[in-house]
Structure formats: C-alpha cells, structure tokens
Amino acid sequence: MLSKLLQIWDELKSSYWFIPTLMSMGALASSSFLTQNQWALNTTLFEENRWLYSSSPEGAREVMSIIAGSMITVAGVTFSITIASVAYATSQFGPRLLTNFMADRGNQTTLGTFIATFLYCLMVLRTLTGSDMDAEHAGFVPQLAVAGGVMFGVASIGVLIYFVHHVPASIHASNVIGGIGQQLLAKVDELYPAVDQDGGSTEHAENAPQAPARDSQIHLDLANSQLVRANFDGFVQFVDEEKLIATATKHDTSIVLDVRPGDFVTSGSYLGWLLTSEPLAPAAEQAIQESVLHGIKRTAAQDIMFLARELVEIAARALSPGVNDPFTAMNCFDWLSSSLAVMATRPPTSGRHYDQKGQLRLIAKPVSHEYFISENLSMIRVYASTDRNAALHFQSIIARLLLLSTEPKYRELLLDQASQLLLCSDGSLCDLDQSELKSRHRILTDIGLDDRGNDLLVQQHHWLGGSA
C-alpha cells in the first residue's frame, strides 16, 4: 500500500498541474473567506487601520481588474518561457531529464502564484457592487479582500523576479549535473546505509531480525518451485517488499523476485518464484503481481541506476562530435565518482528479507556494488576514450577510487576499467596522448597491486588527488 502511495506521489510531484491546483484552491478559499467575513473582520481586526483597505467601488474594481489582467498575461509568458527552457535543456542534456525539470518546485510555484492571484482577483471582482455615482445605494466593497488582492499582486512581482533568475540557473550545466549527482548520493545513502562503530547498519538496526545460518547458502530448486509470470508490460517503478513478505508469510513460503526497479518487463516473462512444491494459489500470484508496480517510464524513486544513467547520458552527449564539450562530461565523471566512492565503502545488500520470527521470506534482486561500479564505468569509458581530456580525467577518477577502496575485488574492477580504456583509446588518440595514458596506467597498476607508498605517489603526481 505504501509503495502505491509513493508511486502516486511521484507522479503528482512531477506534474505541472498539482501545485498550481492546490494554490488556486487556496486562493478561492481565501477570497471566499475574506468577502464572507468582511464585517466581522472589519470591526475586530482592522478597525483602526482604514488606510490598509479604504477604497471606493470604482477604485476597487479597477485595481482588481488591472491585477487580474496582468497576472493572466504574465502566467502565459511564464509558461512559454518554461516550455522554451525545458525544450533547450532536454535537447542539450537528454529527453530523460524532462522529468527533472517538470518536478522543479520553482517553476511549479511560479505558475501557481500567477494563476492563484488571477483567480483570487476574479472572485473578489464579482462581489463588487455599486458605483461612485450612486449616492442612494452604497455599494459593497470587501475592503480586506481588495487589500489581499493588492498584496497578492506585490508578492507576484517578487515571484516574477525570482523566476527570471531561476530559469537560467536551472538550465546551467553545472547546476543540472550537480542536482542529479546530489540525488544519486542521497539514493546511495538510502539504499546502502552506512555501518556504525559496532558493525551494524545505522538504519533499522534495532528491529532487524537476524539471518539464520542455514539460509546463508540457500539455492533455488526450480523443480520444487512455482513460477510467477508478469501480467503487464512496462518498467518496474516500485517493489512493495512489505507486501511480498506478508504474502510469503501468509502462505508459509519464500519468494524469489527476479526483477528490480528499472527493469522492463513484458507480459508473460518471469517475475519470480515461490519456493514451494504446492500448487500456486491464485490469490498469492495476484498479490505478487500487485506488489510489482509498473509504468511507462523509469523513475528515480527506487531505481538508483536511473540517476546514474542520466549522468552517463549527459556525458555521452557532451562528448559527441556535434557538441564536443569534454568539460561537461568531466563534471559528470566527478559526480558519478562521488557515488561510486561512497558505495565502495558501504556494506553490500544481500536482498534477503526475514519476518519477525527470523524466517527467510523474500530474496530480492538488489543492485550489487560490482554491477553498479562496472556498469557505469564501462558506459562512460566508451565515450571518454575518444577525447584526450576526458580520458585523462577518467584515469583521475579511477585513481581517486583506488586510493579510497580497500576491497581487492573493487580494485580489480577499477584496474580492469583502466586497462579497457587503453584498448578503446588505441587508434582514437595520437601517439603522444596514448603515451601519456600508458604512463598514468602504470602508476594506477602500482597503486592497485600494492598500496604502500601511495602518499609519496600523490605528492609526485597531482592528478592522483583528483586534479585533471
């Protein structure tokens, strides 16, 4: 249930209509409250402050008309500027970043402010009656509501100034890349929590049941398992692990999940297995299928590879012959290396989940450290090998990760990526650049095979510390 709510919330916060709708409803409620309670508020709160709201019917009508007309005009211009900036950004950085710009709170709030101000003034305008020439019948002028409209107009000017600054800042390459990099670091912290001094996870350490020793070498017996197939087509967006555990506990079995967020699933393909030889109950199969929430696009809510692929895509476009911007690509390398460095220091996630009695109920399919490191470095290595500056910077981040990593298997992965870079760059770069890459590669090999004397190497070669 929680995953379904998270999926709905993820769709809402990435839409342009949700926040403007809430702000418009608030404006309608405010206009109704101030006009309906004009006399009570006038005699209790603002009796001695007539300068705040004193206005004739004609004057109030003219003020509200001017504000309403200008706000709807500015809202149209704001929407046009937003669409133009989004079109530019997606053409430069990739269409998959459209979701990031649509989820931008600054654009949503700006559009909502102008629309809410227009609706507020429109609703107040309809309550104004009488005229300055009608001396027999004093018209109704909700002075407090009119004053509120003026304050809305002043606030809209401030929002417009903010918007003029926000648009160019939001499409600046460094800000776009840095925002994705920070999201990726936050997602690494969420999915791969750090360990405390006692060696336990800093999150959910108190209530986590201990894994029984007999489950450490569990194998999937296909002959005594029931296959669960998908009944949908699309990308896996969320996996409701709590519901899967509850389903396995109810049927006294274990579930092996063969998909993870980010995978594309076709109808009839494998979702997973139930480790039981008993016939699969329709309710259990339906519960498993409903626990894997899907959609037509990937999202970053549970898919850590999606954020990493966004950085890879920006780097690939930057290094394409049509753009030829290696410095943007190098910026992507830096932010990606930060998440790789953090992940290399975190304990791996087994994907095994137990009930409160310590029984194994779910074997999920997490993104392993080795897969995350090798997959992302392999992707950017292909593009880095075509440019001298990008290739040297790629070696710099390999050096940075080698100096931080203590696990032999991670060092082996990193050295393999450095070796593959040399092979890919052969024929793409001139002999002088290739010689420089080989010289750096020998230093990387020395660090990876023997970490003694690294401090001296860092002092002798500035690029080992992260400098290009």
User: How does pLDDT run across 51-104, given as a tens digit for each residue?
Assistant: 555 567 888 888 999 999 999 999 999 889 888 888 888 888 888 888 788 888
Angle between helices 369-384 and 408-425 (to 10 degrees): 20
- Confidence at residue 405, expressed as pLDDT on a 0 to 100 scale: 81
Mean pLDDT over 116-145 rounds to 77
- The verdict on residue 281 lying in a domain is yes
Residues 37 and 128 both lie in one domain: yes
- Confidence at residue 73, expressed as pLDDT on a 0 to 100 scale: 93
- The verdict on residue 136 lying in a domain is yes
Question: How many CB atoms sit inside 10 A of residue 262's CB?
Answer: 18
- The verdict on residue 210 lying in a domain is no
Residues 310 and 453 both lie in one domain: yes
Residues 332 and 379 both lie in one domain: yes
- The verdict on residue 75 lying in a domain is yes
Among 295, 317, 352, identify where a domain stops.
295
Residues 130 and 273 both lie in one domain: no
In the structure encoding, which two tokens stand for residue 15, read together?
Answer: 């839409």
DSSP 8-state secondary structure symbol assigned to residue 207: T
- Is the pLDDT reported for residue 457 higher than 80? no
Residues 248 and 362 both lie in one domain: no
Residues 287 and 309 both lie in one domain: no
- Confidence at residue 214, expressed as pLDDT on a 0 to 100 scale: 43
- The verdict on residue 205 lying in a domain is no
- Confidence at residue 1, expressed as pLDDT on a 0 to 100 scale: 59
Among 235, 261, 295, identify where a domain stops.
295
- The verdict on residue 183 lying in a domain is no
Q: What's the CATH code of the domain at 236? A: 3.90.1170.30
- Confidence at residue 139, expressed as pLDDT on a 0 to 100 scale: 64
Residues 382 and 416 both lie in one domain: yes
Among 171, 194, 210, identify where a domain stops.
171
In the structure encoding, which two tokens stand for residue 372, read together?
Answer: 């995350």
What is the dihedral sign for C-alpha 387, 388, 391, 397?
negative
- The verdict on residue 146 lying in a domain is yes
CB 274 within 8 A of CB 305: no
Residues 126 and 250 both lie in one domain: no
Residues 286 and 316 both lie in one domain: no
- Is the pLDDT reported for residue 45 higher than 70? no
Number of domains in the chain: 3
Helix (H, G, I), strand (E, B) or coil at 226: strand
In the structure encoding, which two tokens stand for residue 357, read together?
Answer: 């009695």
Domain housing 374: 302-465
Angstrom distance (rounded) from CA 196 to CA 202 = 6
Give the start-end residues of each E strand in 395-442: none
Angstrom distance (rounded) from CA 224 to CA 202 = 37
DSSP string spanning 162-203?
HHHHHHHHHT-HHHHHHHHHHHHHHHHHHHS--B-TTSSBSS
Residues 267 and 138 both lie in one domain: no
* pLDDT tens-digit map of 222-278: 667 888 899 989 999 999 988 899 988 888 888 899 999 999 999 989 888 888 777
- Confidence at residue 321, expressed as pLDDT on a 0 to 100 scale: 87
Cβ neighbours of residue 413 under 8 Å, at least 6 residues apart?
370, 373, 374, 377
Angstrom distance (rounded) from CA 111 to CA 95 = 22
Residues 114 and 229 both lie in one domain: no
- The verdict on residue 67 lying in a domain is yes
Chain mean pLDDT for the chain: 83
What is the percent of the chain where pLDDT is above 70?
Answer: 84
Nearest to 114, CA basis, from 237, 222, 231, 20 = 20
* pLDDT tens-digit map of 301-351: 889 999 999 999 999 999 988 888 999 999 999 999 999 988 888 888 888
Residue found under tokens 């700006």: 110
What are the CA-CA distances from residue 62 to residues 28, 58, 131, 149, 437 (Å)? Answer: 20, 6, 11, 12, 72
Angstrom distance (rounded) from CA 205 to CA 250 = 25
- Give me the numbers of helices (H) and strands (E) for the chain, helices first please: 17, 8
Q: In terms of pLDDT, which residue wins out, 279 or 122?
A: 122
Residues 224 and 278 both lie in one domain: yes
pTM metric for this prediction: 0.82
User: Within a 13 Å sphere around the CA of 446, how many CA atoms are in the beta-carbon half?
Assistant: 14
User: Within a 13 Å sphere around the CA of 373, how many CA atoms are in the beta-carbon half?
Assistant: 28
